[in-house]
């Protein structure tokens, strides 16, 4: 067996162990929301998400401290963006929003919006690539990161994942996969599946925005005009899915019929609000990011023009 094959065999059990570590404590930590309980105090006490968030924050800060003479300094607003993204993940997975999402579709769609769209965008706007690499322990950098980067298989996978068509397909495919009633209802009942849902949504968001934002020092091969089109491609399927849920006259996600409703709201009304949360903020986010990309495009063109203009003699 090749060295790459052995690494893959090590990675797969590691990912499975991570899911188990996430899901098993959650069985006890997710007490749900009982009648008479204040829904805004029902925190998720599973410690693993917070520990992982703190670990990522530490590596980022450690990398900034180790970066004595940065070639492309990370600005204050970029650091704020990165930590805001981590904070949104914390709110999504640890605050009462997580328990409310198991009782109401509207809160579940809000949670997915934060995990899938807003948090990944803010994290990548924080230019985390260099700080995270510099913050890793030397043994991990030399023993795992460098061999992986030099691996032909890893490079081939990276080429595929950063292909615009494949990236859009993954981003929207993961969304549609988990909006199918069978999978969605199963995630409501099974913590392992629920953890898998969250991990795949965050991963698809990071892959999607990685090609759009290209945090320094990485430069995306995709032209800015194509990126704007790329963002426009996700509006239509997102709108269709949101509209189907919003205007449905039947209860699509029957898993909510088996749990306590913490607010005086019908399941159909909650479903309509959930469809709107998926539909409107998702489309608005795509339009907003397209505007940011157009500004980046303009600034890049201006910088290129200034660099090529001959110096005028006086």
pLDDT beyond 50 at 130: yes
pLDDT in tens, 274-290: 999 999 999 999 999 99
Alpha carbons 5 and 8: distance in angstroms, whole number: 5
Cα dist from 197 to 119, 169, 185, 187, whole Å: 16, 17, 11, 7
Most confident of 35-49, 251-265, 295-309: 251-265
Sign of CA dihedral 81, 86, 87, 91: positive
Split at pLDDT 50, 70, 90, the class of 297 is confident
pLDDT beyond 50 at 7: no
pLDDT beyond 60 at 46: yes
Percent over 90 (pLDDT), the chain: 59
Split at pLDDT 50, 70, 90, the class of 65 is very high
pLDDT in tens, 83-98: 999 999 999 999 999 9
Q: Look up residue 203 and give its two tokens.
A: 């991963």
pLDDT beyond 50 at 314: no
Split at pLDDT 50, 70, 90, the class of 162 is confident
The residue count of the chain comes to 314
User: Looking at beta carbons, which pairs linking 179-183 to residues 24 or more positions away fall under 8 Å?
Assistant: 179/241, 179/245, 179/278, 181/252, 181/253, 181/254
Query: How high does pLDDT run on average in the chain?
Result: 86
pTM of the model: 0.85
Alpha carbons 218 and 216: distance in angstroms, whole number: 5
Cα dist from 114 to 85, 175, 202, 267, 301, whole Å: 9, 13, 9, 22, 32
């Amino acid at each position: 067996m090749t060295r790459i094959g052995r690494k893959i065999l090590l990675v797969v059990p590691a990912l499975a162990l991570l899911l188990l570590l996430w899901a098993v404590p959650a069985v006890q930590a997710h007490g749900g929301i009982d009648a008479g309980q204040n829904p805004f105090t029902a925190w998720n006490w599973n410690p693993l998400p917070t520990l992982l968030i703190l670990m990522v924050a530490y590596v980022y800060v450690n990398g900034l401290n180790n970066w004595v003479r940065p070639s492309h300094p990370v600005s204050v607003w970029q650091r704020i963006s990165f930590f805001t993204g981590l904070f949104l993940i914390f709110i999504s997975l640890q605050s009462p929003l997580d328990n409310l999402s198991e009782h109401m579709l509207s809160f579940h769609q809000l949670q997915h919006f934060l995990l899938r769209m807003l948090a990944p965008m803010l994290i990548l706007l924080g230019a985390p690539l260099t700080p995270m690499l510099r913050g890793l322990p030397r043994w991990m950098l030399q023993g795992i990161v460098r061999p992986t980067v030099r691996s032909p298989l890893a490079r081939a996978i990276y080429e595929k994942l950063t292909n615009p068509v494949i990236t859009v397909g993954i981003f929207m495919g993961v969304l549609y996969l988990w909006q199918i009633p069978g999978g969605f209802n199963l995630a409501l009942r099974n913590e392992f599946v629920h953890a898998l849902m969250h991990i795949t949504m965050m991963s698809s968001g990071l892959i999607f925005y990685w090609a759009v934002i290209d945090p320094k020092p990485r430069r995306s091969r995709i032209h800015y005009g194509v990126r704007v089109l790329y963002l426009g491609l996700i509006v239509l399927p997102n709108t269709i899915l949101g509209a189907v849920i919003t205007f449905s006259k039947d209860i699509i996600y029957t898993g909510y019929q088996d749990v306590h409703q913490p607010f005086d709201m019908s399941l159909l009304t909650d479903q309509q609000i959930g469809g709107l949360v998926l539909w409107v903020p998702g489309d608005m986010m795509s339009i907003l990011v397209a505007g940011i990309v157009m500004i980046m495009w303009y600034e890049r063109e201006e910088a290129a023009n200034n660099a090529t203009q001959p110096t005028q003699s006086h």
